[in-house]
Amino acid sequence: MPLLPDLPPVRVATRLAAPDPGWSVEADAVVVGSGVAGLTAALELRSRVRRVLLVTKGVLSSGSTVWAQGGIAAALDPADSPAAHLRDTLLAGGGLCDPRAVETLVTEGPRRVRELVARGAVFDTGPDGVLSLTREGGHRADRIAHAGGDATGAEISRALVAQIEAVREDPGIEVIEHALVLDVLTGAPGPDGAPGPVAGVTLHVIGEGSRDGVGAALAPAVVLATGGIGQVYRSSTNPAQATGDGIAAALRAGALLGDLEFVQFHPTVLWLGAGVKGQLTLVSEAVRGEGALLLDTDGVRFMPDVHELAELAPRDVVAHAIVRRMAATGSDHVWLDARHLGGDFLRRRFPTIHERLAEHGIDPATDLVPVAPAQHYHSGGVVTDLDGRSSVRGLYAVGEVACTGVHGANRLASNSLLEGLVFAHRAARDVAGRVEGGFLPRVEPVVRPGDEALVAAASRARVQRVATDGPGVLRSAEGLRRALDALGRIPADAQARRDDGRPLGEPQLAEWETTNVHQVATVLSLAALAREESRGGHARADHPAPRDAWRVRVGVRAAVGGGVVVGTSGPASDGVSSDDSR
């Protein structure tokens, strides 16, 4: 195991500052999130346990899955194979994938996609009725199934939401919309300081009636399917609700987090100027899969000199090549050239992208499209086993919030929707078996020792600026230490006051989200500082090459009382074997 560098001391609050719950509800399992992973888990649990509660931050159809353009990867072509899909995934993962997790993904994936079709998802087909499959970066075969050209996520979401709506009146399932999960409730910790088992969650509902305000959903199992960390950064392709809520809640509950430093910056995001922030328009990798080329601002194609797959190299390779080319040419973007593909083809194959570009006066059939990398996906998260179990008994994680070991240092294109499908199925089966078998008994929640926190919403822009400049596309020890120092100076104390004595923030949605963003930015920066090499989605200017000693997972967890523990382990391990208490 590599020797960890000297890391600055970091503490995190173990709970959010919030009112006591004013109502409660009981279930056998609580699923948090309504993307492909959350909806799949809820549908599977509904037929396996007596009562499941599905909680979503917006409406059912507002999960991040809706924004997935490219497609879902699976070996569905007879000429393809799970073994080939496994090889491509391992190669993209930079030596840090868990081969067992990848094998599970690629072998179970085709069956799960076919089940998705049986649930009503309509994928694009050819004149013969056979699924149309395309290719994206890092894949050496046509294995990307897509829907509506570039609206795959929206179609998958539509089909799964329709399945939930069809059973809305079933007493065995309850859906609570417009609800932010605040904290994972836990029982008494173990004598060795291990986190207590899950007792449910607290949540805040924006609405009226019996499910209004802060309440408690009590259950022996909680499945986090809360998506990614997009709003930790100043610019992202993620929707506004992606504020790292699940990762932050799991951290406060004492769960082990892993691979946090591996952030995927999508290479081709529409560039609209340096001052633009929030959710940006993604120009799908599938556009390059169909033959679009990358040119620098001098009109020179540069990717063939970088990688054998040229524009279809893994995303980290393309993103870093673009950043280097921008620096060499003194530009803040490069060009995506799809003009040779023709207007009719582009409108038919990429209707959503075509419409988004037209809103900005760009016609990809006649115009070069300005693009630059922006935060897109997070390969790390809550460390789980192959059944979605975290290091906290009764706490599960599926989808982007999880760290299954499938992605390693860099996600292979279109593996994310498949991961959500496959591991949501596995987690639901495991939850049902353990609840019904009595292995996950109900426990009484207790107040965890440590501080409570509330970061003022006004600080969010500052946190995002620090994250973008620190653990951004290119990192360094100096920049990461500066980021940790800046984040540590942002008042996170719930009792922090203005000069006139008024509190800096009130317990409400914007403050809770900002606290989550702050905590995720902090532990992400810490993990990035710990890993002294460049690999996959983690690029260090001061350590530009990968090192064999770092073919390990960096794990982060909050100890009892809020101190942060950092350590390393084999990428397939569920534990932290070399601890450096902070």
Give the DSSP H or E segment for 337: strand 334-337
Residue 160's contacts (CB-CB under 8 Å, 6 or more residues apart) are: 36, 39, 40, 43, 119, 121
Q: Phi and psi (nearest 5°) for 176?
A: -115, 110
Per the CB < 8 A criterion, the answer to whether 70 and 288 are in contact is no
Query: Is 347 marked active-site?
Result: no
Residue 299's contacts (CB-CB under 8 Å, 6 or more residues apart) are: 335
Q: Residue 279 to residues 190, 237, 238, 275, 367: CA-CA distances in angstroms? A: 42, 5, 6, 13, 23
- Sort 275 into a burial class: Cβ within 10 Å, 0-12 / 13-18 / 19+: exposed
**Active-site option among 15, 135, 143, 315:** 315
361: alpha, beta or left, given left = phi > 0 and alpha = psi -120 to 50? Answer: left
- How far is the C-alpha of 232 from the C-alpha of 375, rounded, in Å? 9
Per the CB < 8 A criterion, the answer to whether 246 and 226 are in contact is yes
Q: Residue 72 to residues 152, 159, 228, 419: CA-CA distances in angstroms? A: 8, 15, 18, 9
| The dihedral formed by the CA atoms of 86, 91, 93 and 96, expressed in degrees to the nearest 10 | 90
Per the CB < 8 A criterion, the answer to whether 206 and 509 are in contact is yes
Q: Cite the active site residues.
A: 315
